Structure 1
Amino acid sequence: MYRLLLIISVCLLSVTVRGQDTYFYGYVKDSITELPIQDVHVSTGNEDTSDYTNIHGLFVIKAHEGDTLTLLRVGYFSQKIALKGTILSDTLHITMVPKTHELESVTVSSYSYEDYQADSVDRIRYFEQAIGYAKPLFDNANTGAGIGISLERIFSHRQQNKKRALRLFQEVEEEKYVDFRFNPIIVHSYTGLKGDSLQQFMNKYRPSYKWLRNHTRQVDLLYYINGKLKKYFKR
């Protein structure tokens, strides 16, 4: 009887220990640029335990030793990390390798215009759901950032909060377009900068949305980077 109770107790203890969740913190960076990667989906296979990296490449996820983290991001090879051994003693430092190809002698990200458009559509759908607008606010004409926005539909209403939300959404879409064109991989490939130096260069010489829309060719962007690079090194 005592032996049976002992076996049951050990089994229950094992289940309890196994079930104790721990918060794991991680940092994800690009293997080429050494910059943090945003919007990496980190999961353990359970949707209740997943997270996305922020602008600093940081994430936090609830899991336990023995789980396997899966990291997914468009334009990067997927990564799997087993939560065991010495890696559990500190923040997880993870490097993801981008899928790249050669274009005009410059290495660029494989995050294509189609990928950018798909992400834009997802953001639009989320925005429409968030503001509770029954009719589509957007048309299929690509007149600006992402999908064309039917302004007359929203401006015909008196709901000022929705107007402000739409303006903010437009600003976000424009920033996403600049991020897509002026991405770290192409800037690194042309300048050789990486890490903090690359980040400083991109922050200082980030082109405007209007300029990029008026200069859609890849070579235009390369001439732009070249001009700014001369100023950077002269400084």
Structure 2
Amino acid sequence: MIVTAGPVIAININQLYRAVSFNKNKKKEKFRKILLDKEKENLVEQKFNPSLVQRLTGLGGDSLSQFILRYQPSYEFVREISDYDLYVYIRQQYDKFRQQTVK
């Protein structure tokens, strides 16, 4: 932003810096998005982990890996529910998983 008052010219350094560092800002925003996505992923993995699923379902090995990949809940779901509700979700999804593997 340039302001003129007679023979004096004033420049807002902050706005000038933002204008010339557009690429740097894009990189920062992209990096910020990656960090937020990783944080969300870590929360889901922390709550919906193999040891919990194995304890509640008795699955192991490839079956456990398949179950976790197929039924991993979303970040929004995990963030909103209690631990008990997560256990219920795992048991319900395990029943579906068993029915599909029996066919």
TM-score norm. by structure 1 comes to: 0.32
Aligned to 1:174: 40
Please list, as runs of the form range in 1=range in 2, the aligned pairs for 1:203-214 lying within 5 A after superposition.
Answer: 203-214=69-80
Pair 1:223-2:88 in alignment = yes
Unaligned runs of 5+ residues in structure 2 are 1-20
Equivalent-residue separation in structure 2 for 1:231 and 1:186 (angstroms): 18
Cα separation, 1, equivalents of 2:94 and 2:71: 9
Structure 1: stretches of 5+ with no match in the other structure: 1-156
Pick the structure with more strand per residue: 1
* 3-state DSSP of counterpart to 1:207: coil
Query: Which residue of structure 2 lines up, in the alignment, with residue 64 of structure 1?
Result: none
Q: How does 1:1-235 map to 2 (within 5 A)?
A: 158=22, 159-215=25-81, 217-235=82-100
1:201-222, Cα deviation, whole Å (9 max, x unpaired): 000000000001110x211101
Paired-residue identity, %: 35
> 1:195 deviation in Å?
1.1
Greater helix fraction, Structure 1 or Structure 2:
2
Larger RCO, structure (CA 8 Å, separation 6 or more): 2
Question: How far off is 1:193 after superposition?
Answer: 0.3
Please give the alpha-carbon distance, in whole angstroms, between the structure 2 residues aligned to 1:171 and 1:197.
27
**Alpha-carbon distance in 2 for matches of 1:196, 1:187:** 13
Aligned residues: 78
Question: Where in structure 1 do 4 or more consecutive aligned residues deviate above 2 Å?
Answer: none
If the length of structure 2 is used for normalisation, what is the TM-score? Answer: 0.73
Task: Report which of the two structures shows the higher radius of gyration computed on alpha carbons.
Answer: 2
